Amino acid sequence: MDLSLSEEQMMIQDMARKFAESELAPVAAQLDEHQDQSLFLCNLAKLTELGFMGLNIKAEYGGVEAGTIAFSLAITEIAKACASTAVTTSVTNMVAEVIQAVGNEEQKHTYLPKLCGGEYKAGGFCLTENNAGSDPAGMQTTAIKDGDNYILNGSKLYITSASFADLFVVWAVTDSNAPKGKGISCFLVEANTPGITVAKAEEKMGQKASPTNEVHFENCRIPSSALMGLENKGFSVAVGELAGGRIGIGSLALGIGKAAMDFARQHLLERKQFGKPLANFQGLQWMLAERYTELEAARLLLMQAAYTKDLGQPFGMAASMAKLFASEKANKACYDALQLMGGAGYIKEYPLERYSRDVRVTSIYEGTSEIQKVIIARELLKQVS
């Protein structure tokens, strides 16, 4: 098996790394503390100019058409510097992929160039609700047909980038009499549509520069042309796109975990105790060896999932395995990196405190670790049933 990257993939990885090191890393702590939205949006605009908002979108729609492996590599490099920027980039790419996957030609030509080219600052993925998180089929937001329109009513929670996103992909119940999960449809809704209210940003533990908001729809009238795909068939779209999103979040987690361990490794060489560098102590060496081995395994799982997706083969279980392993091991890497730093790791002057806060949610959003285990187990049992 050839595990080497193509020239284009290496170029995108290198471009992401250089941008992250020069533009994102110097301001990541500032963004975390002050949530400077103008600076955050400026960095997003620069990433857009470089093509990072349409990595797996066809060139005819304004994308780079570089594939899922390149997307994973880019998100990892961006996350090493700023997890907040990485999650907004990942979600905007996911919104674009939803449109490319199920939108009609008019929708693709209308909206994708705006997402990929920067006319839209970001895209929002409106799926989660108060009683529909791990169980999205339980959503209660409705879209009632009214002539040539639909009327949206309901609320969506924890929507990344909602306060400045210009376009939402929204899931809503269109047939309340259908069995659970069967009467759900998918819509494209511009953020300036009357009837949409975005609540204030949530006060989060980490990834603070990327706003997370509740989005309310109150008698929000949208045209029938906003429907993506077939009416009442939108739930399968959500499930499919969440699988792709898990590659993005797994890659993000990997980047944070790598950044944490890289910083701690350097610290081991520089700090001395008992008259010798910390790097000389075998117990600390073993922690280093174990965490880097796990992060490398996570990278390989992510590459396998991305490669399978690019081949057009079923990749849901591979994505869940990669997301589960990468997020859990990245959390462990950040925790151990902080431990390797000792008291310094607990001080805000050093980035370990931020990495540890930023990484925590990666085992929650885009499907909790527990949900990933359910998905994996179901697929394994289906293979032998």
Identify the burial level of 114 via C-beta atoms within 10 angstroms of its C-beta, where 0-12 means exposed, 13-18 middle and 19 or more buried: middle
Q: How far apart are CA 258 and CA 359, in angstroms?
A: 11
Q: How far apart are CA 295 and CA 254, in angstroms?
A: 7
Torsion-angle region of 263 (φ positive above 0: left; ψ -120 to 50: alpha; else: beta): alpha
- Nearest CA to 99 out of 203, 10, 255, 226 is that of 226
> Any idea which residue has 């009327």 for tokens?
151
Supply φ then ψ for residue 261, to 5 degrees. -70, -35
Q: How far apart are CA 173 and CA 231, in angstroms?
A: 10
Supply φ then ψ for residue 155, to 5 degrees. -135, 145
Give one DSSP letter per residue of 141-190, joined into a string.
Answer: -EEEEETTEEEEEEEEEEEETTTT-SEEEEEEES-TTSPTTTSEEEEEEE
Q: How far apart are CA 11 and CA 165, in angstroms?
A: 28
- Pairing mode of beta strands 212-223, 196-198: antiparallel
CB 65 within 8 A of CB 58: yes
CB 297 within 8 A of CB 329: yes
Which residues does the annotation mark as catalytic?
Answer: 366
